Structure 1
Amino acid sequence: MPDTLNPAPAVTADTLAAFSDAFNRHDAHALMEFMTDDCVFDAAGGNEVYGTRYVGKDAVRAAFEAVFKAFPDARWGHGRHFVTGDRGVSEWVFSGTHTQGFRIEAEGCDLFEFRDGLIAVKRAFRKDRPQQPA
Protein backbone atom coordinates (compact mmCIF):
# COMPACT_ATOMS: atom_id res chain seq x y z
CA MET A 1 0.00 0.00 0.00
CA PRO A 2 1.47 3.42 -0.93
CA ASP A 3 2.61 5.66 1.90
CA THR A 4 0.48 8.78 1.49
CA LEU A 5 2.45 10.66 4.15
CA ASN A 6 5.80 10.01 2.47
CA PRO A 7 5.16 9.32 -1.19
CA ALA A 8 8.10 8.27 -3.36
CA PRO A 9 9.66 11.13 -5.29
CA ALA A 10 8.44 11.37 -8.85
CA VAL A 11 10.77 10.35 -11.64
CA THR A 12 11.61 13.41 -13.76
CA ALA A 13 13.52 14.19 -16.93
CA ASP A 14 16.44 15.11 -14.64
CA THR A 15 16.27 11.62 -13.13
CA LEU A 16 16.56 10.10 -16.60
CA ALA A 17 19.46 12.44 -17.43
CA ALA A 18 21.26 11.27 -14.26
CA PHE A 19 20.53 7.64 -15.22
CA SER A 20 22.06 8.34 -18.65
CA ASP A 21 25.11 9.92 -17.00
CA ALA A 22 25.62 6.71 -15.01
CA PHE A 23 25.55 4.76 -18.30
CA ASN A 24 28.22 7.03 -19.74
CA ARG A 25 30.35 6.46 -16.62
CA HIS A 26 29.82 2.70 -17.08
CA ASP A 27 28.67 2.58 -13.46
CA ALA A 28 26.37 -0.44 -13.22
CA HIS A 29 26.05 -0.14 -9.45
CA ALA A 30 24.82 3.47 -9.72
CA LEU A 31 22.36 2.40 -12.43
CA MET A 32 20.82 -0.15 -10.08
CA GLU A 33 20.08 2.62 -7.54
CA PHE A 34 17.58 4.01 -10.06
CA MET A 35 15.80 0.66 -10.53
CA THR A 36 13.30 -1.44 -8.59
CA ASP A 37 14.42 -4.79 -7.13
CA ASP A 38 12.22 -6.62 -9.67
CA CYS A 39 13.25 -4.41 -12.60
CA VAL A 40 12.97 -5.57 -16.20
CA PHE A 41 15.37 -4.66 -19.01
CA ASP A 42 14.44 -5.54 -22.59
CA ALA A 43 17.61 -5.25 -24.68
CA ALA A 44 17.50 -3.93 -28.23
CA GLY A 45 18.55 -7.27 -29.72
CA GLY A 46 17.55 -10.86 -29.22
CA ASN A 47 15.46 -13.69 -30.57
CA GLU A 48 12.18 -12.73 -28.90
CA VAL A 49 9.72 -10.08 -30.06
CA TYR A 50 10.88 -7.90 -27.12
CA GLY A 51 14.61 -8.59 -27.72
CA THR A 52 16.38 -10.27 -24.80
CA ARG A 53 14.72 -9.84 -21.40
CA TYR A 54 16.57 -9.58 -18.10
CA VAL A 55 14.61 -9.62 -14.82
CA GLY A 56 15.83 -8.53 -11.39
CA LYS A 57 18.72 -6.33 -10.33
CA ASP A 58 21.39 -9.04 -10.59
CA ALA A 59 20.45 -10.02 -14.15
CA VAL A 60 19.99 -6.41 -15.31
CA ARG A 61 23.31 -5.33 -13.76
CA ALA A 62 25.08 -8.23 -15.48
CA ALA A 63 23.51 -7.27 -18.84
CA PHE A 64 24.66 -3.64 -18.45
CA GLU A 65 28.17 -4.77 -17.44
CA ALA A 66 28.34 -7.04 -20.50
CA VAL A 67 27.67 -4.03 -22.75
CA PHE A 68 30.40 -2.03 -21.01
CA LYS A 69 32.83 -4.93 -21.44
CA ALA A 70 31.96 -5.49 -25.12
CA PHE A 71 32.07 -1.74 -25.90
CA PRO A 72 34.73 -0.22 -23.59
CA ASP A 73 34.18 3.24 -25.13
CA ALA A 74 30.36 3.02 -25.22
CA ARG A 75 28.59 6.37 -25.03
CA TRP A 76 24.97 7.45 -25.16
CA GLY A 77 25.16 11.04 -26.40
CA HIS A 78 22.77 13.79 -27.45
CA GLY A 79 20.35 12.73 -24.71
CA ARG A 80 16.81 14.07 -24.61
CA HIS A 81 14.48 12.93 -21.85
CA PHE A 82 10.86 13.40 -20.94
CA VAL A 83 8.42 11.98 -18.42
CA THR A 84 4.65 11.89 -18.31
CA GLY A 85 3.04 10.20 -15.34
CA ASP A 86 4.48 6.73 -14.79
CA ARG A 87 6.17 6.57 -18.21
CA GLY A 88 9.20 8.21 -19.77
CA VAL A 89 11.43 8.31 -22.83
CA SER A 90 15.13 8.88 -23.38
CA GLU A 91 16.43 9.52 -26.89
CA TRP A 92 20.15 9.16 -27.59
CA VAL A 93 22.86 8.33 -30.10
CA PHE A 94 24.79 5.21 -29.15
CA SER A 95 28.42 5.07 -30.24
CA GLY A 96 31.00 2.48 -29.40
CA THR A 97 33.77 0.27 -30.67
CA HIS A 98 33.27 -3.45 -30.01
CA THR A 99 36.19 -5.49 -28.70
CA GLN A 100 35.94 -7.51 -31.94
CA GLY A 101 36.96 -4.38 -33.86
CA PHE A 102 33.77 -2.99 -35.40
CA ARG A 103 32.14 0.35 -34.59
CA ILE A 104 28.48 1.28 -34.11
CA GLU A 105 26.88 4.70 -34.21
CA ALA A 106 23.09 4.71 -34.24
CA GLU A 107 20.11 6.59 -32.85
CA GLY A 108 18.02 4.88 -30.23
CA CYS A 109 15.62 5.35 -27.38
CA ASP A 110 14.53 3.81 -24.12
CA LEU A 111 10.90 3.51 -23.08
CA PHE A 112 10.49 3.46 -19.30
CA GLU A 113 7.82 2.50 -16.79
CA PHE A 114 8.14 3.81 -13.23
CA ARG A 115 6.95 2.56 -9.88
CA ASP A 116 7.50 4.08 -6.44
CA GLY A 117 9.92 6.69 -7.77
CA LEU A 118 12.14 4.13 -9.51
CA ILE A 119 12.55 2.60 -12.96
CA ALA A 120 10.61 -0.68 -13.09
CA VAL A 121 10.96 -1.35 -16.84
CA LYS A 122 13.53 -0.19 -19.42
CA ARG A 123 12.92 -1.16 -23.04
CA ALA A 124 15.79 -0.31 -25.41
CA PHE A 125 15.43 0.32 -29.14
CA ARG A 126 18.27 1.13 -31.55
CA LYS A 127 18.52 1.65 -35.29
CA ASP A 128 20.03 -1.36 -37.04
CA ARG A 129 22.92 -0.01 -39.11
CA PRO A 130 25.68 -1.98 -40.82
CA GLN A 131 28.77 -2.35 -38.67
CA GLN A 132 31.61 0.00 -39.56
CA PRO A 133 35.30 -0.84 -39.34
CA ALA A 134 36.90 0.69 -36.25
Structure 2
Amino acid sequence: MTETTLDASRVTADTLAAFSDAFNRHDADALMGWMTEDCVFEAAAGPEVYGTRFVGRAAVRAAFEAVFQSFPDAHWGHGRHYVIGERGVSEWVFTGTHIEGWRIEAEGCDLFEFRDGLIAVKRAFRKERPKQPA
Protein backbone atom coordinates (compact mmCIF):
# COMPACT_ATOMS: atom_id res chain seq x y z
CA MET A 1 0.00 0.00 0.00
CA THR A 2 1.68 3.21 1.17
CA GLU A 3 3.60 4.42 4.17
CA THR A 4 0.32 4.36 6.12
CA THR A 5 -0.46 0.97 7.67
CA LEU A 6 -4.18 0.53 8.19
CA ASP A 7 -6.35 -2.22 9.64
CA ALA A 8 -6.85 -4.60 6.72
CA SER A 9 -10.08 -5.98 8.21
CA ARG A 10 -12.13 -2.78 7.87
CA VAL A 11 -12.13 0.59 6.20
CA THR A 12 -12.14 3.70 8.39
CA ALA A 13 -12.30 7.45 7.83
CA ASP A 14 -8.48 7.39 8.10
CA THR A 15 -8.39 4.91 5.21
CA LEU A 16 -10.44 7.28 3.05
CA ALA A 17 -8.21 10.21 4.06
CA ALA A 18 -5.12 8.22 3.02
CA PHE A 19 -6.87 7.23 -0.22
CA SER A 20 -7.56 10.92 -0.89
CA ASP A 21 -3.92 11.78 -0.15
CA ALA A 22 -2.87 9.22 -2.77
CA PHE A 23 -5.16 10.94 -5.29
CA ASN A 24 -3.48 14.25 -4.52
CA ARG A 25 -0.06 12.63 -5.09
CA HIS A 26 -1.40 11.13 -8.36
CA ASP A 27 -0.20 7.77 -7.03
CA ALA A 28 -2.08 5.09 -8.97
CA ASP A 29 -0.08 2.28 -7.32
CA ALA A 30 -1.22 3.34 -3.84
CA LEU A 31 -4.80 3.84 -4.99
CA MET A 32 -5.06 0.38 -6.46
CA GLY A 33 -3.65 -1.11 -3.24
CA TRP A 34 -6.88 -0.09 -1.50
CA MET A 35 -9.22 -1.53 -4.14
CA THR A 36 -10.56 -5.04 -4.70
CA GLU A 37 -9.55 -6.99 -7.82
CA ASP A 38 -13.07 -6.62 -9.22
CA CYS A 39 -13.44 -2.97 -8.17
CA VAL A 40 -15.88 -0.60 -9.86
CA PHE A 41 -15.39 3.13 -10.46
CA GLU A 42 -18.29 5.22 -11.69
CA ALA A 43 -16.99 8.54 -12.96
CA ALA A 44 -18.95 11.76 -12.49
CA ALA A 45 -19.34 12.29 -16.24
CA GLY A 46 -20.49 10.03 -19.01
CA PRO A 47 -23.40 9.08 -21.23
CA GLU A 48 -25.17 6.76 -18.78
CA VAL A 49 -27.32 7.57 -15.77
CA TYR A 50 -24.33 6.50 -13.59
CA GLY A 51 -21.75 8.43 -15.67
CA THR A 52 -19.08 6.11 -17.07
CA ARG A 53 -18.40 2.77 -15.36
CA PHE A 54 -14.97 1.13 -15.19
CA VAL A 55 -14.69 -2.44 -13.88
CA GLY A 56 -11.57 -4.26 -12.66
CA ARG A 57 -8.22 -2.93 -11.47
CA ALA A 58 -6.75 -2.36 -14.93
CA ALA A 59 -9.73 -0.33 -16.17
CA VAL A 60 -10.08 1.64 -12.92
CA ARG A 61 -6.36 2.41 -12.82
CA ALA A 62 -6.47 3.62 -16.44
CA ALA A 63 -9.45 5.87 -15.60
CA PHE A 64 -7.63 7.39 -12.61
CA GLU A 65 -4.47 7.92 -14.67
CA ALA A 66 -6.53 9.60 -17.41
CA VAL A 67 -7.75 12.14 -14.85
CA PHE A 68 -4.16 12.83 -13.79
CA GLN A 69 -3.15 13.29 -17.44
CA SER A 70 -6.13 15.53 -18.26
CA PHE A 71 -5.65 17.63 -15.12
CA PRO A 72 -1.91 17.63 -14.31
CA ASP A 73 -2.57 19.81 -11.24
CA ALA A 74 -5.69 17.92 -10.08
CA HIS A 75 -6.32 18.32 -6.36
CA TRP A 76 -9.08 17.16 -4.04
CA GLY A 77 -9.02 19.53 -1.05
CA HIS A 78 -11.03 20.24 2.08
CA GLY A 79 -11.64 16.51 2.54
CA ARG A 80 -14.15 15.16 5.01
CA HIS A 81 -14.50 11.39 5.30
CA TYR A 82 -17.12 9.18 6.93
CA VAL A 83 -17.55 5.43 7.26
CA ILE A 84 -20.58 3.53 8.51
CA GLY A 85 -20.18 -0.21 8.26
CA GLU A 86 -19.55 -1.27 4.66
CA ARG A 87 -20.26 2.17 3.18
CA GLY A 88 -18.45 5.49 3.23
CA VAL A 89 -18.43 9.04 1.92
CA SER A 90 -15.66 11.47 1.05
CA GLU A 91 -16.54 15.12 0.47
CA TRP A 92 -14.05 17.38 -1.30
CA VAL A 93 -13.46 20.40 -3.51
CA PHE A 94 -11.89 19.43 -6.83
CA THR A 95 -9.58 21.97 -8.47
CA GLY A 96 -7.57 21.59 -11.62
CA THR A 97 -6.53 23.03 -14.93
CA HIS A 98 -7.44 20.89 -17.93
CA ILE A 99 -4.75 20.34 -20.56
CA GLU A 100 -6.98 22.33 -22.96
CA GLY A 101 -6.46 25.36 -20.71
CA TRP A 102 -9.73 25.72 -18.81
CA ARG A 103 -9.96 25.56 -15.02
CA ILE A 104 -12.44 23.92 -12.64
CA GLU A 105 -13.26 24.38 -8.99
CA ALA A 106 -16.27 22.38 -7.82
CA GLU A 107 -17.55 20.57 -4.75
CA GLY A 108 -18.04 16.85 -5.01
CA CYS A 109 -18.22 13.59 -3.16
CA ASP A 110 -17.47 9.92 -3.52
CA LEU A 111 -19.81 7.21 -2.29
CA PHE A 112 -17.99 4.00 -1.41
CA GLU A 113 -18.86 0.36 -0.83
CA PHE A 114 -16.33 -1.83 0.99
CA ARG A 115 -15.60 -5.54 1.01
CA ASP A 116 -12.93 -7.40 3.01
CA GLY A 117 -11.28 -4.17 4.15
CA LEU A 118 -10.94 -2.79 0.61
CA ILE A 119 -12.85 -0.41 -1.63
CA ALA A 120 -15.12 -2.40 -3.96
CA VAL A 121 -17.09 0.51 -5.45
CA LYS A 122 -16.28 4.22 -5.83
CA ARG A 123 -19.02 6.45 -7.26
CA ALA A 124 -17.95 10.04 -7.98
CA PHE A 125 -20.29 13.03 -8.03
CA ARG A 126 -19.29 16.62 -8.79
CA LYS A 127 -21.10 19.91 -9.21
CA GLU A 128 -21.34 20.91 -12.86
CA ARG A 129 -19.93 24.40 -13.44
CA PRO A 130 -19.20 26.34 -16.61
CA LYS A 131 -15.60 26.12 -17.80
CA GLN A 132 -13.45 28.97 -16.48
CA PRO A 133 -10.39 30.38 -18.25
CA ALA A 134 -7.12 29.31 -16.66
Distance (Å, rounded) in 2 between the aligned partners of 1:82 and 1:112: 10
| Structure 1 residue 90, shift from structure 2 partner | 0.0
Which residue number corresponds to residue 79 of structure 2?
A: 79
TM-score when normalising by structure 1:
0.94
TM-score when normalising by structure 2:
0.94
- SS of equivalent to 1:47: strand
Distance (Å, rounded) in 2 between the aligned partners of 1:28 and 1:48: 25
Counterpart amino acid of residue 30 in structure 1: A
Aligned-residue sequence identity (percent) comes to: 80
Following TM superposition, the consecutive aligned residue runs of length 4 or more in structure 1 with deviations greater than 6 angstroms are none
- SS of equivalent to 2:51: coil
Larger Rg: 1
Q: Please give the per-residue CA displacement for 1:23-79, whole angstroms capped at 9, x wherever unaligned.
A: 000001110000000000000000000000000000000000000000000000000
Distance (Å, rounded) in 1 between the aligned partners of 2:127 and 2:64: 19
Unaligned runs of 5+ in 1: 1-6
Which residue number corresponds to residue 89 of structure 1?
A: 89
Unaligned runs of 5+ in 2: 1-6
Distance (Å, rounded) in 2 between the aligned partners of 1:125 and 1:115: 21
Counterpart amino acid of residue 86 in structure 1: E
Which residue number corresponds to residue 117 of structure 1?
A: 117
| Structure 1 residue 127, shift from structure 2 partner | 0.0
1:21-36 aligned at under 5 Å gives the runs: 21-36=21-36
Counterpart amino acid of residue 42 in structure 1: E
Which residue number corresponds to residue 129 of structure 1?
A: 129
Distance (Å, rounded) in 1 between the aligned partners of 2:37 and 2:30: 14
- SS of equivalent to 2:41: strand
1:41-56 aligned at under 5 Å gives the runs: 41-56=41-56
| Structure 1 residue 8, shift from structure 2 partner | 4.7
Distance (Å, rounded) in 2 between the aligned partners of 1:75 and 1:111: 18
Distance (Å, rounded) in 2 between the aligned partners of 1:71 and 1:62: 14
| Structure 1 residue 9, shift from structure 2 partner | 1.5
> Which has the larger share of strand?
2
Distance (Å, rounded) in 1 between the aligned partners of 2:8 and 2:113: 15
